[in-house]
A = this chain, B = another copy of it.
Amino acid sequence: MKIAIINGPNLNLLGRREPHIYGHTTLGQIESGLSEVAKELDVELECSQHNGEGELISAIHALTDSADGIVINAGAYTHTSLAIRDALVGVNLPYVELHLTNIYAREEHRRRSMLAEDALAVVCGFGAYGYELALRGLVSTLRNRG
């Protein structure tokens, strides 16, 4: 089983960008930590990060016949991009929407998600630890289905 971890715009700044909101862990540290969990769960991981909407779409397309599920933190595109949702639905892979912060406790424009309606599940507010929970939840659900 192979799971893609996809991160969107500005997440390359993690650890430096507004640490009082997003914490001090860098994206590299998160990805390293997820590798450990992936080993425990016996799944293959593929991690990527893109600032461009079109690049994210192409990255999702590239998973068509190679991945079994996606954990996606689309950053600010979560709230504006119908095209990323179309890409996720187009490749027909179950995905978990993930946010570091509790988006419902933030500004109004961060409370509406364009992706959530077709997601398998949503996890937000646990900081970097949320990636692990999303990965565990996705793998567990896929194995129960299989």
Q: Which A66-117 residues have a C-beta within 8 angstroms of B?
A: 75-77, 79-83, 85-87, 89-92, 96, 102, 104-105, 109-110, 113-114, 116-117
B residues near A102, Cβ cutoff 8 Å: 116, 119-122
Protomer copies: 12
Is A54 an interface position by the 8 A CB rule?
A: yes
Q: Which A37-75 residues have a C-beta within 8 angstroms of B?
A: 50-55, 57-58, 61, 64, 75
- CB pair A124–B122 under 8 Å, yes or no, is yes
B residues near A109, Cβ cutoff 8 Å: 82, 114
Among A10, A58, A120, A130, the one with the most B-chain Cβ atoms within 10 Å of its Cβ is: A10
Is A123 an interface position by the 8 A CB rule?
A: yes
> Which of B80, B119, B129 is in CB contact (< 8 Å) with A141?
B129
- CB pair B9–A83 under 8 Å, yes or no, is yes
B residues near A123, Cβ cutoff 8 Å: 121-123, 133, 137
> Which of B83, B114, B125, B141 is in CB contact (< 8 Å) with A77?
B83
B residues near A52, Cβ cutoff 8 Å: 52-55, 57
Q: Which residues of A pack against B, CB within 8 Å?
A: 8-10, 12-13, 16-18, 50-55, 57-58, 61, 64, 75-77, 79-83, 85-87, 89-92, 96, 102, 104-105, 109-110, 113-114, 116-127, 129-130, 133, 136-137, 140-141, 144
